[in-house]
A and B are shown apart, each in its own frame.
Chain A
């Protein structure tokens, strides 16, 4: 009760604080030379109030205060403490409050960290950010308050969806949101810089850190979601091209493109319009992500039951933001003072630009695949879904030139470059092709295409390794990230090609044998846990004289009454052995799925390497 009250009122006061912030900002904008200290203080107060409000919700969850509607809908007394806390952001209302926390936190950090920049620019950024913040405040208080009161107070809550009761997914939303919301600072500051005609090398250098921070978090957030999907959903896949996944990939693609553009802006003061458009696009796509996931509009296998009314507000708000930013872009933006013909065909910036186009193409494919079903439903009420083949067909072929440009680009110089001393690249390319030729030779798959694809991935792989030995710590951030990307593509390809799967229905004591495996369902044990009953199956699996014991689990949760299956995965350096069981309507047969998935571990490692590249880039600058 108490905590909900504290939370609710500090939310309202937080909104009211926006008034003095606006007042002092506008006053300060005209008059003095230095930033008024009051503005920073008020921003801090706003951050403080939002954090108090958030903590109010967290404590309502911890003490299972079921007079709070959000707690009632998403919590239960028998739930472990960790998941009570993570339940705070495992729902619509709480996750929006988390958005607000990050929004206010980031603008406060921005104000502190930008001391040596133009005062007007800092104030304008704050104002743009305040518009977003007010939008979220109003949305929270008006249509999705996390502090609604229910009377009579229920005895027990409805519980958190069990598949969300998982460590990876407990931290997935905050990490992903840090990435999403981080792009709001990029958005606000890009608009502010455009208005003041401040798009310059200094600005690029400064905003690059924010781009890096949100990029790292977004990458980690996507990784966590993917790892979770892999072991929790029991399909053994890590990416399903599902709309909910796509909406997190789209801002990532646009942010990655932005990251490369900023480099060109920093080094060559070119591509400024591109940079602004990408900054706007990234934030818009992040907002779209929130809207599409939370509105229930998407036809997704991950969709949770939710309320379509709320989507309308976010959508309207989104359109207002896009409208404002486009007006600012067209009215204030002056194109680069450098002439466009100083772009030479063979230079680093050209190859960055080319790869940016590829990224934009990937982005449009994902966007069309995600939006088209909604669009078709609205205009002709035909229900369709677009599956992985669509994306594979349109994206994979273009990975080949994309990878090759990723090799060539970093080898070139800024401004203008020749191809002298680059003959080893051709040699590398043939070696890579040869290696992939021998790998593919004995497999019954599309021969030529896969040879070239794997070949170009190897090409990037070897070139980055060579760079690493040759150049050492120079450009190490880019080298590691690109190396990680080549490893990612290779692991995904090998994972797809070499995975094997076996699905059968077994009773306890039965066994199944084919020419490669023998699976014996030894026994089934029952355990009583705090908020679920666990059934652990014991399987022995024999393959080439190697015997493994795997124990997949079925959990029957008490509240809500849901069965989940927990895969048992035996991870080694080169393969994952993955098994899940499932009951069908309490009949004697258990649905058993056994998969051997090579290089799974390397997919995760390579994404971490890509993140590491970003981290190094972030910290390297500080020490130089």
Chain B
């Protein structure tokens, strides 16, 4: 009934639609799985359950809280309201020190202990991660 050209164009459009839908679905699914949420120590206190999902915790490194041994580094992240103990075994960034802003990525053990797998490096001594800034402003 229809010409060859129309058929060709029709199948082309269907193919295009299908690929678009498929890739959107893939992207959304992957987003859902791989998004890392940012929490402040106060947010963590408000959590109802501890999920086994990677999160980021940000705040200030509490004064006199860094303890280092041959295997790991321990410190406390605070937002001056609540705090959380962090255990980390890896390379710390250059600008990591007490009284400075920090963002740690890893898994929660419970509401007071955090197992970090990465501490994010910042390049600027005046720089504070935007999340930390808002988390501190909210207190």
Interface of A toward B, CB cutoff 8 Å: 161, 163, 233-235, 296, 299, 301-305, 341, 357, 361, 364-365, 368, 372, 382-387, 389-390, 393-394, 503-506, 510, 512, 560-565, 580, 582, 584-585, 587, 589, 591, 593
Establish whether residues B8 and A394, one from each chain, have CB atoms under 8 Å apart when the complex forms: no
Contacts A303-B127, A505-B70 given; does A384 touch B35 at CB 8 Å: yes
Residue of B nearest to A299 (CB): B130
A584 near B68 with CB under 8 A, answer yes
With contacts A394-B26, A589-B70 taken as known, whether A389 is within 8 angstroms of B96 at the C-beta atoms is no
Cα of A163 to Cα of B126 in the assembled complex, Å: 14
A124 to chain B, nearest CB (A): 33
5 intermolecular pairs with C-beta atoms under 8 Å apart: A299-B130, A304-B123, A505-B72, A589-B70, A591-B68
Across-interface contacts of A394 in B (CB, < 8 A)? 26-27, 30
B17 CB–A CB distance under 8 Å? no
Question: Which residues of the other chain, B, contact A512 by a CB distance below 8 angstroms?
Answer: 70
A-facing mask of B81-103, CB < 8 A → 1, else 0? 00000000111111111100000
> How many whole Å from B5's CB to the nearest CB in chain A?
6
Complex Cα gap A589–B91 (Å): 12
B31 and A390 form a contact (CB under 8 A) = yes
A582 near B92: Cβ-Cβ < 8 Å: yes
B37 at the interface (CB under 8 A from A): yes
In Å, the complex CA distance between A280 and B3 comes to 35
Chain B residues contacting A562 (CB-CB under 8 Å) are: 94-95, 125
Asked whether, in the complex, the Cβ of B129 is within 8 Å of the Cβ of A299, the reply is yes
The minimal Cβ–Cβ distance linking B52 to chain A, given in whole angstroms, is: 15
Q: In the complex, are the beta carbons of B94 and A304 less than 8 A apart? A: no
Partner of A382, one of B37, B66, B73, B94: B37
Contact residues in B for A234 (Cβ distance below 8 Å):
91, 93-94, 121
CB distance from B1 to the nearest CB of A (A): 19
Measured CA separation A384–B130 after assembly (Å): 11
Restricting to B92-139, which residues have a CB under 8 Å from any CB of A?
92-98, 120-131, 134
**Contact assessment for B34 and A591 in the assembled complex, using a CB-CB cutoff below 8 Å:** no
Instruction: Give a binary string over B54-93; 1 marks a CB under 8 Å from any A CB, 0 the rest.
Output: 1010000000001011111100000000000000011111
- What residues on B are CB-neighbors of A365 within 8 Å? 27
B31, A372: Cβ atoms closer than 8 Å = yes
* A residues in contact with B13, CB < 8 Å: none
Could you tell me how many residues of chain B have their Cβ less than 8 Å away from some Cβ of chain A?
46
- Return the chain A residue nearest B19 by Cβ: A357
15 additional contacts, CB 8 Å, given A364-B27, A504-B71?
Answer: A235-B121, A301-B123, A302-B123, A305-B128, A364-B23, A383-B56, A384-B35, A389-B33, A390-B30, A505-B70, A562-B125, A582-B91, A584-B68, A585-B98, A589-B70
Shortest Cβ gap from A115 to chain B (Å)? 42
Per the bound structure, the CA–CA distance linking A235 and B90 in Å amounts to: 10
Which A residues touch B30, using CB under 8 A? 390, 393-394
Q: A357–B90 Cα gap in the complex (Å)?
A: 40
- One of B8, B97, B121 near A585 (C-beta < 8 A): B97
Nearest-CB distance from B100 to chain A (Å)? 10
Give min CB distance, A569 to chain B, whole Å: 15
Least CB separation from A163: chain B residue: B123
Q: Is the CB of A587 within 8 A of B31?
A: no
Cβ contact within 8 Å between B66 and A584: yes
What's the minimum C-beta distance from B25 to chain A, rounded to whole angstroms? 11
Q: For residue B133, give the distance in angstroms from its CB to the closest CB of chain A.
A: 11
Q: Which residue of A lies closest to B97 (CB)?
A: A585
Given A305-B124, A505-B70, residue A389 in contact with residue B34 (CB < 8 A): yes
B124 contacts A385, C-beta separation under 8 Å: no
Residues of chain B within 8 A (CB-CB) of A393 are 30, 33-34
- Chain A residue nearest to B37 in the complex (CB): A384
By a CB distance below 8 angstroms, the chain B residues around A584 are: 66, 68, 73, 92, 96
Q: Are B131 and A585 in contact (CB under 8 A)?
A: no
Does B36 sit within 8 A of A, measured CB to CB? yes
